[in-house]
Amino acid sequence: MRHLLDDAVTWIIINASKEQKSRVIVDAAVALVKAEKGRAAIAVVDHNGNLISMDSMDGNSRFWSRFAVGKAVRAVALQVDTAVSAEEVKTNPTRFKARGACCREKFF
């Protein structure tokens, strides 16, 4: 069974369009959030910061959708994982705000 799963993942990586790949990412994130009984807005952007796919779970305000896009754009612009940004907010909020200034029009 594991071999079939590996083959499916390999097929997605090689053959799927960027829209299909981004949908897999969003669906996996939604499943994870649901398993943790949470809610979230998830956005996937391309290397230029253009939105490819997004999902906002029931109960979220429009703000969280905008925030998700901004977070994804910031990660691409600064070439850092979103987890790095989350840690930076806690440890050095001034630097987080300064580094995010380049994405202001997309962030808020």
Domains and CATH numbers, the chain: 18-107 (3.30.450.150)
Longest C-alpha distance within the chain, in Å? 48
Give whichever of 5-14, 48-57, 75-84 has the largest mean pLDDT. Answer: 48-57
Residue 92 CA to its chain's centroid (Å): 22
Could you give the percent of the chain with pLDDT greater than 90?
0
Cα dist from 82 to 9, 57, 79, whole Å: 23, 19, 9
> Who contacts 61 (Cβ-Cβ below 8 Å, separation ≥6)?
none
The yes-or-no verdict on residue 8 having pLDDT over 60 is: no
Write down the pTM of the prediction: 0.67
Q: Report d(CA 101, CA 23) in Å as an integer.
A: 28
